[in-house]
Chain A
Amino acid sequence: MTGTILLVEDNELNRDMLIRRLNRAGLEVIAAGDGQQALDLMRSEQPAVVLMDMNLPVMDGWTACRHAREDASISQIPIIALTAHASDADRLTALEAGCDDYATKPVDFPGLLIKIEKMMEPR
């Protein structure tokens, strides 16, 4: 696998853990703490995949997703939503906002890795 992962997560404990695990899986990771920062980094760094928490300060995940889909320069970057809710409605909300997939917290890491891998495969 090549390419950088953008992790958008405001919770420090969880962010550090995910960075650690992604690094251990051989992935390069950059991180953002809010939706606005995420959009900026997507534009400047063109990451291979974005892992985005939905409850974010400044700009929430759903809004950031919608903006990303409207911006041609980054609309193709796959986004995996990280949600705290396991209900169908929450998943749908994330998918409707333009996310390509989702993972529920507490994150099943092997499952998440498979999703990331799939998205990094050339289409």
Chain B
Amino acid sequence: MTSGPSKSTAPWSDLLLRNMAELRELYNHASDQFDEDAQADFARLFDGSSRMDEMLRDADSSRHDLMNVLSAVRGYSEILREDLSAEHADIDAALARLLKAVDSANSDSDSTPARASSRRIIHSEPGFILAVDDLQENRELAARYLSRSGHIVVTAASGEEALLTLDQADVDVVLLDLMMPGMDGHEVLRRIKEHPEWRATPVIVISGRQDMDGIIECIEAGADDYLFKPFNPVLLQARIKAGIERKRWHDREELYRQQLERNEKFIRATFGRYLSDEIVTDILERPEGLELGGDLRRVTIMMADIRGFTTISERLAPAQVVTLINRYLGAMTDIIMAHQGTIDEFIGDAILAVFGAPQHRDDDADRAVRCALAMQQAMEEINQRNREDGLPEISTGIALNTGDVIAGNIGSERRSKYGFVGHPMNVTSRIEDVTAGGEILIAGSTLESLQREYRVGQSRELNVKGIDELLQVYPLLGEQS
């Protein structure tokens, strides 16, 4: 009759490994106090323990082989107990516990009533656990306990190995032994908490002794939880479960945050150049208010250009032309943005801006009018600076028109921009053609859209191609005082 490792062998083999781990830790701290014979016996005992590990993992190993190893473990434990001096009471007690575990394995494993607590399995979302311990028994034990509740467990035998694993895999929880040769647990913890990507990974520290000071130090350094060795499997599972839940929350939160950031970046990249920061922020805060794609919008269109600019520029050096035009466009852009206008494009010295898209506001026409007044007012200062720089004075004409246009991302896959199409655009251009320097001409449609009163001059009639009637335009003189 052969029986591989079955779930029924688990309770006693866990106990055995646990006691073995405990013994090995005690022994490692005191190994130099033993004579050669005792050291050799300990070595054989631990050899037996490693073989047992292998057998429990290997489905093909027979009960007979397992019992042989158990027999050897028992034999060497008893030899050691016979030889131990009184000063090693702790090791003697550990050996006694180990022998008790061997006994429970011997009395038919299938019928051994396991203690309720070691039978209890805490179920949780499966996670990827990194168990770091220099002792093989402890690694093996953690792996067994945790894989039983569905987790994937990778182990590392040193701090250095642990960091390598963290570098390569997305670990959910780190189970970290504090006492290790080389890089110890404290150092590993410090590095995890310093690393931008690992920082959020919950770390459960394990202390070999009831080392409260060490634990407190670790919690202060960012550890999420702790366990004392030998640890209770149910407690371990419960803490791992809590750790995984923390990690999952963090991951979801992080994903959500990244999506938001991407969306915001996209929106800022798409609109940032046409819209004031205020509008972009507004859109970001109320994404439902912005519908992308072409749609019909009632907007107030502004066209402004420098009168006779071609003639002026012919008399100037190229660098002077650039200074002149940048000074003008820079000032105008600031004013338009301050009035929440959308700059569609600059065509040479001409500016095309729109009020009311992508974001509609009830005072679109009013803002356009006030914007135009502010622009004309700013010309004084521009010319002042031009004079100082020995540049010619310039004047601008501004046309406003209100109508329905198609607003949206226009262009091809490779190159597109948020732009406007429609007859009102052409009409605005026609008005602009007849605007004199320093003048603001507004169409009847804009005048009708205004919420507040403004002073306007005598209307003029304009013939526009494609419209049978004559277009009424009004020179805007200023705000109602």
Residues of A within 8 A of B (CB): 9, 11, 13-14, 16-18, 20-21, 24, 53, 55, 84-87, 104-107, 109
Contacts and interface: CB of A to CB of B under 8 A. Distances in A.
Contacts of B79: 17, 20-21, 24
Interface in B93-123: 102, 105-108
Contacts of A107: 71, 74-75
A16 B51 CA distance: 15
A13 B47 contact: yes
A60 to B, nearest CB: 11
B84 to A, nearest CB: 14
Nearest to B107: A86
Contacts of A13: 44, 47-48, 51, 68-69, 72
B64 interface: yes
Given A85-B63, A109-B75, A14 B1 contact: no
Tell which of B44, B63, B67 has the most Cβ of chain A within 10 Å.
Answer: B67
A72 B359 CA distance: 112
Interface string B209-227: 0000000000000000000
Contacts of A24: 79, 82
A105 B108 contact: no
Contacts of A106: 67, 70-75, 102, 105-106
A87 B69 CA distance: 19
Nearest to A20: B79
A29 to B, nearest CB: 13
Given A13-B51, A20-B79, A86-B106, A105 B71 contact: yes
A14 B78 contact: no
A113 B51 CA distance: 27
A55 B64 contact: yes
Nearest to B40: A20
Interface string B380-399: 00000000000000000000
B65 interface: yes
Given A17-B72, A105-B71, 9 more contacts: A11-B68, A11-B72, A13-B48, A53-B68, A86-B106, A105-B70, A106-B75, A107-B71, A109-B74
11 contacts: A11-B72, A13-B48, A14-B68, A14-B71, A17-B72, A18-B71, A21-B75, A84-B68, A86-B108, A106-B72, A109-B74
B328 interface: no
Contacts of B51: 13
Nearest to A11: B68
A55 B66 CA distance: 12
Contact size range, B: 20 to 34
A24 B80 CA distance: 12
A13 B44 CA distance: 8
Interface string B73-94: 1111011001000000000000
Contacts of B78: 21, 109
B5 to A, nearest CB: 15
A24 B105 CA distance: 26
Contact of A11 (B65, B76, B107): B65
A10 B47 CA distance: 17
A109 B429 CA distance: 109
A17 B75 contact: yes
A87 B111 CA distance: 12
B75 A18 contact: yes
Which interface residue of A13, A21, A107 has the most chain B CB atoms within 10 A?
A13
Given A55-B64, A106-B70, A14 B75 contact: yes
Contacts of A86: 106-108
A115 to B, nearest CB: 15
Nearest to A104: B106
A112 to B, nearest CB: 10
- A55, A86, A107 — most chain B CB neighbours (10 Å): A107
A105 B72 CA distance: 9
A20 to B, nearest CB: 7
A51 B107 CA distance: 21
Contacts of B63: 84-85
